[in-house]
């Protein structure tokens, strides 16, 4: 699979890597891996929003995956800034299974956000104890170019 790192979309101190994945017969997709430290104020999402703004101008399918450290299981005010941002850019958060589970809490702090949720066949959170929370995974449709077959008679 061919890809290129999109450093032109990168903004300053945001911990992210943006890659454009190029498929042989379909439009590329933009995959963004992001980490937002738990002690970072929610207000500092603005810098990441600039990356999304630049990315959205490319008219590509966007998939953002990562440890956002904003709990989607808790619909309190702490996630309003992130929720508002992804909605403004037509993105949907598709993980609904807890990604960090302790004896006292279950949180959805690892996200997959996409602007083409209809291209996602399934999402899953494998319960593998590799760190203090679980990975997020997705299965995406494989888009193949359809060819027009013409039949002629002589």
Return the pLDDT at 67: 94
pTM: 0.86
Q: Which helix (H) or strand (E) is 132 found in, with range?
A: none
Residue predicted with more confidence, 110 or 42 = 110
Q: Which domains does the chain have, with CATH numbers?
A: 2-140 (3.60.10.10)
Long-range contacts of 106-109 (CB under 8 A, 24+ apart): 106/73, 107/71, 107/73, 107/74, 107/133, 108/71, 108/72, 108/73, 109/67, 109/68, 109/69, 109/70, 109/71, 109/72, 109/133
- 94-152 per-position pLDDT tens digit: 999 999 998 999 999 999 999 999 999 999 999 887 788 899 999 998 766 666 677 76
- The rounded Cα 62 to chain-centroid distance in angstroms is 7
Q: What is the mean pLDDT of the chain?
A: 87
Return the pLDDT at 41: 75
- Helix axis angle, 45-56 to 80-88, nearest 10°: 10
* Contact yes or no for 137/128 (Cβ under 8 A): no
> Does residue 43 have a pLDDT over 70?
no
> Does residue 65 have a pLDDT over 80?
yes
Q: Which stretch of 16-25, 33-42, 72-81, 114-123 has the lowest confidence by average pLDDT?
A: 72-81
Return the pLDDT at 42: 65
> Does residue 18 have a pLDDT over 70?
yes
Pairing of strands 15-22, 2-5: antiparallel
């Amino acid at each position: 699979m061919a890809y290129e790192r999109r450093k032109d979309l990168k903004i300053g101190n945001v911990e992210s890597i943006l890659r454009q994945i190029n498929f042989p017969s379909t439009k590329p997709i933009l995959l963004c891996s992001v980490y937002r430290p738990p002690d970072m104020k929610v207000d500092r999402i603005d810098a990441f929003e600039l990356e999304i703004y630049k990315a959205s101008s490319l008219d590509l399918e966007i998939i953002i995956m990562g440890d956002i450290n904003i709990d989607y299981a808790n619909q309190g005010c702490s996630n309003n800034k992130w929720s508002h941002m992804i909605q403004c850019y037509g993105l949907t958060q598709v993980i609904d299974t807890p990604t960090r589970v302790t004896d006292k809490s279950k949180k959805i702090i690892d996200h997959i956000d996409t602007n083409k949720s209809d291209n996602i066949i399934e999402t899953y959170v494998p319960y593998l104890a590799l760190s203090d929370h679980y990975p997020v995974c997705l299965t995406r449709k494989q888009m193949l170019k359809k060819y027009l077959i013409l039949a002629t008679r002589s």
